[in-house]
């Protein structure tokens, strides 16, 4: 069975190379009895791959049991997995078989395996090594022939280093690692999945089909999808049920993306009518302003050269231009670079001569000094009113208060 046949059989949509690689790995390991550790973000489809491995294996006619290890209380998980004897603990009114006994000859899928308590991990390791286990409250050794497929959405090796997961169990489970790509790594598949889900829900609810505008398709591709395929499916269902206009634009689609995820969108976060910039953005703004000034200076110098040194009309049109001829950046101190602007100062615009002596003016290029200067100018312009000064600078009032304190501008 090739990859496309597997996609058709298990309803997998997409052509991402990472997705195809994961399917190919599952296809190759399925005929063996090797343990598989499936890793991937929540909602990426790890359980689907456990079904692929089981259905393509020699155990396909045996039982398949999926267990969410994180949903079972620590006090009862041993009983759930391995069974218990009558009277072994309060409430044990009769003997009970565990999942490993019921799944004998088949496959057991342990989802969120990193949530298992350390004591349960030791019992699981024994099953992996010898197929033996003990019921809770029993001293009789039981045997089982079960293939174990485990899955997790956390970094298990990091849990090993933190002492929360047994290292020997990690290597036993991780015989074949299988990584499921997140939806953010499958940008080319997002629109295909949305179309499939939207068509399914339109049939289910007997509603007109949904069509996405180009800007809505772009929004789908650019969103980070922290909930992966599960989140995309939920949003497709909401749009099919709630949206009156069946031609959905990006603006309409934004109504169905959770507010707490808006910071994942490729757009600025608004604070009232102003954008709230971080400290790094302030520094960028300073640098861009400096670049703009330098570009204007170069333009004026070019005009001087083109006019053969005649600066009369340039001086008249640019009163702020003080006869700059060239500049050089002193990088002798990388942490505090300074800009040296050398220019002859003419007595009047018509008396300009390149032969005049140069006067050197040094201007600090320290980002801290520039930032401090900008804040001082904004405060002076608005007569000390910090609210309006913050709006002028494009930052929040809280950020302005912090910067005033840090730069000792009180």
User: How many domains is the chain partitioned into structurally?
Assistant: 3
Reading across the β-sheet that carries 36-39, which strands appear in turn? Answer: 64-68, 107-111, 147-152, 36-39, 176-179
The domain containing residue 312 runs over which residues? Answer: 279-406
CB–CB of 147/108 below 8 Å? yes
Tokens representing 407 are 């730069």
* Alpha-carbon gap, residue 106 to 63, rounded angstroms: 5
Domain final residue pick, 217, 247, 267:
267
The CATH number of the domain where 250 resides is what?
Answer: 1.10.8.60
Bridge partners (DSSP) listed for residue 270: 275
Decide if 154 is inside a domain: yes
Do 44 and 163 share a domain, yes or no?
yes
pTM, to two decimals: 0.61
Same domain membership, residue 298 and residue 238: no
Whether 20 and 139 map to the same domain: the answer is: yes
**Do residues 231 and 264 make contact, with C-beta atoms less than 8 angstroms apart?**
no
Tens-of-pLDDT digits for all 410 residues of the chain? 889 999 999 999 999 999 999 999 999 999 999 999 999 999 999 999 999 999 999 999 999 999 999 999 988 999 999 999 988 888 888 988 999 999 999 999 999 999 999 999 999 999 999 999 999 988 899 999 999 999 999 999 899 999 999 999 999 999 999 999 999 999 999 999 999 999 999 999 998 999 999 999 999 988 999 999 999 999 999 999 998 888 999 999 999 987 544 444 444 434 444 444 455 556 656 666 777 777 777 777 777 777 665 655 555 555 544 444 444 444 444 444 444 444 444 444 444 444 444 444 455 556 677 778 888 888 888 888 888 888 888 888 778 777 887 777 76
């Amino acid at each position: 069975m090739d990859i496309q046949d597997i996609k058709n059989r298990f309803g997998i949509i997409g052509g991402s190379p990472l997705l195809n690689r994961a399917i190919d790995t599952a296809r190759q390991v399925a005929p063996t009895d090797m343990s598989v550790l499936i890793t991937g973000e929540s909602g990426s489809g790890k359980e689907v791959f456990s079904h692929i491995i089981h259905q393509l294996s020699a155990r396909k006619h045996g039982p398949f049991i999926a267990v969410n290890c994180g949903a079972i209380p620590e006090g009862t998980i041993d009983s759930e997995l391995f069974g218990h004897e009558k009277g072994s603990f309060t409430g044990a009114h009769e003997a009970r078989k565990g999942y490993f006994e019921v799944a004998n000859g088949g496959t057991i899928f342990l989802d969120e395996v990193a949530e298992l308590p350390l004591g349960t991990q030791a019992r699981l390791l024994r099953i992996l090594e010898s197929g033996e286990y003990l019921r809770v409250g029993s001293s009789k050794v039981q045997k089982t022939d079960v293939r174990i497929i485990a899955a997790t959405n956390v970094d298990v090796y990091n849990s090993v280093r933190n002492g929360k997961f047994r290292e020997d169990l990690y290597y036993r489970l991780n015989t074949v690692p299988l990584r499921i790509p997140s939806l953010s790594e499958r940008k080319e598949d997002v629109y295909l999945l949305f179309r499939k889900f939207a068509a399914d829900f339109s049939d289910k609810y007997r509603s007109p089909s949904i069509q996405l505008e180009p800007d809505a398709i772009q929004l789908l591709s650019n969103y980070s999808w922290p909930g992966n395929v599960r989140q995309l499916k939920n949003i497709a269902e909401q749009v099919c049920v709630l949206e009156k206009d069946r031609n959905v634009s990006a603006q309409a689609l934004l109504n169905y993306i959770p507010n707490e995820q808006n910071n994942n969108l490729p757009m600025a976060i608004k604070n009232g009518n102003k954008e709230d910039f971080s400290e790094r953005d302030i520094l960028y703004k300073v640098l861009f302003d400096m670049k703009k000034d330098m570009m204007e200076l170069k333009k004026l110098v070019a005009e001087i050269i083109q006019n053969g040194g005649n600066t009369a009309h340039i001086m008249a049109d640019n009163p702020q231009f003080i006869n700059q001829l060239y500049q050089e950046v002193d990088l002798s101190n990388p942490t505090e670079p300074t800009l040296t602007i050398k220019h002859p100062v003419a007595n009047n615009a018509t008396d300009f001569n390149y032969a005049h002596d140069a006067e050197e003016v040094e201007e600090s290029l320290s980002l801290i000094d520039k930032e401090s200067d900008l804040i001082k100018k904004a405060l002076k312009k608005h007569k000390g009113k910090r609210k309006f000064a913050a709006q002028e600078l494009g930052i929040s009032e809280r950020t302005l208060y912090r910067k005033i304190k840090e730069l000792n501008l009180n």
